[in-house]
């Protein structure tokens, strides 16, 4: 705090006013709030990426826990972006309780050097306190995140089924039969499968503190067609995404697989940079059409 006051004394009056007018971001229906008590350049670089990270993580945890999203009058996850420019990696935490409301203040005093893994873990713990009203270990949070990812969820379900077949694990026959339906009867996509897949149709920078073109934290496939000409890292992100999409689309029916392959082909052409914008957008339109067909072909996830 003392160092921050010294830093402020070195600023002009206009700079101090700009500092004190740091905007507050309220996102994820009031669950996430991000303060940035730091100079404008640090706000621009770190505040929105940290807010997006917290919101994306909260969305994933909602899926993993099966809890319905709701609006918050008081934020449960409060991130403070600090102004320290040295290599301070620590993440400080302060928990406040007001009746049934629990708010967790998370302090990233040196946002450029903060330990991102610890920051994500503390955001996840704050989510569990505020949304589920419980303290959670890193192992429990990891399990919830795995349950929200189609790739790791199916792996875990296969392990459980294998344990039952070998007479281990303590699963009831009824539970095992439900696992069989999910694991051994591929070819059926639920509406939730479609929504989870659609949520992955975005490109992100390799690190949250280096937005595309210096300003874009997340870009849709359509907007990436133009942005790829400005920032080559968009093409690198597209290269990685093109490899993983068929994995996310596999095992959930032919319609979703065809859509995943179409998006993957579009991204591969975006990486090559040989096709015109019109041709790329045409490929994207075809992929979007296939995804709509896949959505029409969904089955009830409960069946």
Interval 73-97 mean pLDDT: 93
Q: What is the pLDDT of residues 235-272, one digit of tens each?
A: 999 998 998 888 777 777 888 889 999 999 999 999 99
**Domains of the chain: which residue ranges?**
2-144, 149-185, 186-296
pLDDT for residue 130 is more than 90: yes
Backbone angles phi, psi at 236, to 5 degrees: -65, -40
Whole-angstrom CA distances from 14 to 4, 8, 39, 85 are: 17, 11, 11, 21
pLDDT at 156: 62
pLDDT for residue 77 is more than 70: yes
Closest residue by Cα to residue 28 from 157, 131, 117? 131
Residue matched to tokens 């390799």? 206
Q: 2-144, what's its fold?
A: Glutaredoxin (3.40.30)
Q: What is the pTM of this model?
A: 0.50
What is the C-alpha separation between 275 and 213, in angstroms, rounded?
Answer: 22
Q: How many CB atoms lie within 10 A of CB 175?
A: 14
pLDDT at 72: 95
Interval 17-29 mean pLDDT: 72
What is the C-alpha separation between 65 and 79, in angstroms, rounded?
Answer: 22
């Amino acid at each position: 705090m003392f160092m921050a006051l010294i830093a402020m004394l070195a600023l002009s009056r206009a700079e101090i006013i700009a500092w004190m007018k740091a905007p507050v971001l309220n996102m994820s229906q009031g669950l996430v709030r991000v303060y940035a008590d730091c100079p404008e350049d640090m706000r621009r670089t770190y505040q929105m990426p940290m807010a997006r990270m917290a919101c994306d993580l909260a969305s994933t945890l909602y899926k993993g826990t099966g809890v319905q999203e709701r609006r918050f009058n008081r934020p449960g996850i409060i991130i403070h972006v600090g102004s320290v420019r040295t290599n301070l990696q620590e993440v400080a935490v302060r928990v406040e309780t007001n009746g049934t409301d629990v708010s967790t203040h998370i302090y990233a005093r040196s946002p450029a050097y903060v330990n991102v893994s610890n920051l994500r873990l503390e955001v996840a713990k704050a989510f569990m306190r505020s949304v589920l009203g419980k303290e959670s270990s890193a192992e429990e949070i990891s399990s919830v995140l795995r349950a929200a990812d189609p790739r790791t969820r199916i792996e875990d379900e296969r392990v459980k089924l294998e344990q039952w077949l070998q007479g281990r694990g303590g699963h009831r026959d009824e539970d095992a039969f439900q696992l069989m339906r999910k694991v051994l009867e591929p070819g059926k996509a639920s509406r939730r499968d479609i929504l989870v897949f659609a949520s992955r149709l975005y490109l992100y920078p390799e690190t949250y503190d280096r937005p595309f073109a210096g300003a874009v934290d997340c870009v849709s496939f359509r907007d990436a067609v133009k942005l790829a000409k400005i920032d080559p890292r968009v093409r690198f992100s597209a290269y990685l995404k093109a490899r993983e999409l068929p994995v996310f689309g596999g095992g959930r029916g032919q319609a979703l697989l065809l859509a995943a392959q179409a998006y993957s082909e579009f991204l591969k052409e975006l990486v090559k940079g040989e096709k015109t914008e019109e041709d790329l957008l045409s490929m994207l339109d075809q992929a979007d059409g296939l995804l709509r067909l896949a959505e029409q072909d969904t089955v009830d996830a409960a069946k």
